[in-house]
């Protein structure tokens, strides 16, 4: 009888304990699911133009590895194999095309974008007027029109950021404009940064120009001193730690403040 009581009690206790642990397991799983769901909602999205190669691809890799949802644009999405391989969402964009900018904004309608990196750029080394016009269209007007088209998406973010990839060759202080049309376009891009800052900082959008330094890419050449992967890591750090009072400024990829 005594034993039975003990059995009943231990049986009851083990049921209660079992029930408790199952309940605890279920509620822990529920909490984990809710946290994951919350994380998904809180997941930050970065859109990078010209992300199929060079610095853009390295930025995409670093942000993807850091847990961001990455939208990488390419002029030829079918050929952006490496970008697809890392799990980025690939969208078509030639930054000189108003139609394609409009189509991109339409595709992204209602979606939150936390960070826009205007990276696409060209560097024709000629003194040809048409080349210079094209350089201005890609390097200067591209970032301006893409940013304006995606402002509604950026405003959905708690902490929206626009990063314009500029260049030391566009610097007025210390620079000599020696790269011709490329220098002109990047100096003007820095004014695009000032313009976007003054138009949107009241709505919380942080807008900066960044000099990524001289990197080993098709544009930078094999002899460049910097590795794009290292530059991308530092840029990620800079972008993640930006404060509102840094908006409207020019920064080295590693966080050093630059003169215009
Ligand atoms: N590498 C350096 O040393 C260095 C130094 C200072 C600043 N930067 C700046 O960093 C950015 C990236 O340079 P990078 O070295 O990575 O150059 P890159 O290797 O030549 O890559 C340029 C990227 O821009 C894209 N692009 C060109 N024209 C475009 C257009 N009309 N519309 C959309 N995308 C276009 C290219 O796409 P396609 O594959 O379709 O051509 C490619 O994805 C540029 O803004 C550049 O000026 C680079």
How far apart (Å, rounded) are the C-alpha atoms in residues 168 and 241? 22
What's residue 174's pLDDT?
85
Reply yes or no on whether the pLDDT at 21 is more than 90: no
Instruction: Say which range, 3-17, 103-117, 152-166, 242-256, has the weakest mean pLDDT.
Output: 3-17
Q: Which residue has the tokens 């990047």?
A: 186
Beta bridge partners of 215: 226
**CA 200 to ligand 1 center in whole angstroms:** 26
pLDDT mean over 239-254: 98
How far apart (Å, rounded) are the C-alpha atoms in residues 123 and 184? 11
Beta bridge partners of 90: 72
**CA 56 to ligand 1 center in whole angstroms:** 7
Which residue in 36, 82, 87, 41 sits closest to 66, CA to CA? 87
pLDDT digit string (tens) for 152-176? 999 999 999 999 999 999 999 988 8
Task: Dig out the tokens for 217 from the structure.
Answer: 């890419």
pLDDT mean over 210-229: 98
Q: How confident is the model at residue 190 (pLDDT cuts 50, 70, 90)?
A: very high
CB atoms within 10 A of CB 202: 8
Percent of the chain with pLDDT over 70: 84
User: CB under 8 Å, gap of 24 or more: what pairs does 59-64 form?
Assistant: 59/117, 59/119, 59/232, 59/235, 59/236, 60/86, 60/88, 61/86, 61/229, 61/232, 62/229, 62/232, 62/233, 62/235, 62/236, 63/115, 63/236, 64/88
Residue closest via CA to ligand 1's atom 36 equals 50
Ligand 1: residues within 6 Å at CB?
49-50, 52-56, 75-76, 93-96, 119-123, 138, 165, 167, 212, 214-215, 217-220, 224
**What is the phi/psi pair of residue 70, to 5°?**
-110, 125
Q: How confident is the model at residue 27 (pLDDT cuts 50, 70, 90)?
A: low
Model pTM greater than 0.75? yes
Could you identify the atom of ligand 1 that is nearest to the CA of residue 56?
16
Higher model confidence: residue 189 or residue 30?
189
Work out the mean pLDDT of the chain and round it to a whole number. Answer: 89
**CA 3 to ligand 1 center in whole angstroms:** 81
Q: How confident is the model at residue 69 (pLDDT cuts 50, 70, 90)?
A: very high
**CA 50 to ligand 1 center in whole angstroms:** 6
Beta bridge partners of 72: 48, 90
């Amino acid at each position: 009888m005594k034993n039975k009581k003990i059995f009943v009690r231990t049986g009851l206790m083990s049921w209660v304990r079992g029930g408790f642990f199952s309940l605890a397991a279920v509620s822990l799983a529920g909490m984990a699911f809710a946290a994951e769901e919350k994380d998904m909602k809180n997941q930050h999205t970065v859109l990078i133009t010209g992300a199929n190669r060079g610095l853009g691809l390295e930025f995409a890799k670093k942000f993807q590895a850091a847990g961001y949802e990455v939208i990488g644009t390419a002029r030829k999405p079918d050929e952006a194999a490496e970008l697809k391989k890392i799990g980025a969402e690939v969208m078509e964009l030639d930054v000189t095309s108003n139609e394609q900018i409009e189509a991109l904004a339409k595709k992204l309608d209602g979606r939150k974008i936390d960070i826009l990196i205007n990276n696409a750029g060209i560097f024709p080394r000629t003194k040809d007027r048409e080349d210079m016009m094209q350089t201005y269209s890609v390097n200067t007007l591209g970032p301006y029109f893409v940013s304006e088209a995606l402002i509604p998406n950026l405003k959905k973010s708690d902490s929206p950021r626009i990063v314009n990839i500029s260049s030391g060759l566009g610097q007025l202080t210390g620079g000599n404009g020696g790269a011709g049309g490329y220098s002109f376009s990047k100096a003007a891009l820095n004014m695009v940064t000032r313009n976007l800052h003054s138009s949107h900082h009241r709505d919380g959008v942080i807008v900066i120009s960044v000099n990524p330094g001289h990197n080993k890419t098709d544009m930078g050449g094999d002899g460049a001193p910097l590795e794009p992967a290292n530059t991308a890591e530092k840029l990620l750090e800079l972008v993640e730690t930006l404060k509102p009072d840094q908006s409207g400024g020019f920064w080295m990829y590693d966080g050093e403040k630059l003169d215009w």
